[in-house]
Amino acid sequence: MTDVTITHRQRGKGGRYIAEIAGSEHTGHLDWEPHGDDMRVATHTIVPRAIGGRGIAALLVDALVSDARAQGFRIVPQCWYVEKKFDENPDWADLRA
């Protein structure tokens, strides 16, 4: 796998997980919005075609799930890709809002 760095940045009241790929100007991202005090709505996961097919979107969702476990929030998978990953990972069921 290509060297990928995932960072989280606040965006207004919500946030964005950003995937930066070594040697590429392209980035992928996963956006979320707050819903109450203990939920985040995963609204969009975007990976440009130029860096697609490398598991970048899955890494973005993994970062969100990891933060949910560490910080104690649940996830509303509004984005179809995040929904798909929840369906594929039944051990995440306790994080689904």
Convert the pLDDT of each residue in 61-76 to its tens digit.
Answer: 999 999 999 999 999 9
CA 26, CA 8: separation in Å to the nearest integer?
16
Could you tell me the two tokens for 65? 């799930």
What are the structural domains of the chain? 4-90 (3.40.630.30)
pLDDT of residue 37: 87
What pTM value is reported for the model?
0.94
Query: How does pLDDT run across 1-57, given as a tens digit for each residue?
Result: 569 999 999 999 999 999 999 999 999 999 999 999 899 999 999 999 999 999 999
pLDDT of residue 2: 62
CA 76, CA 72: separation in Å to the nearest integer?
14
pLDDT band at 88 (very low <50, low <70, confident <90, very high): very high
Average pLDDT over residues 81-91: 98
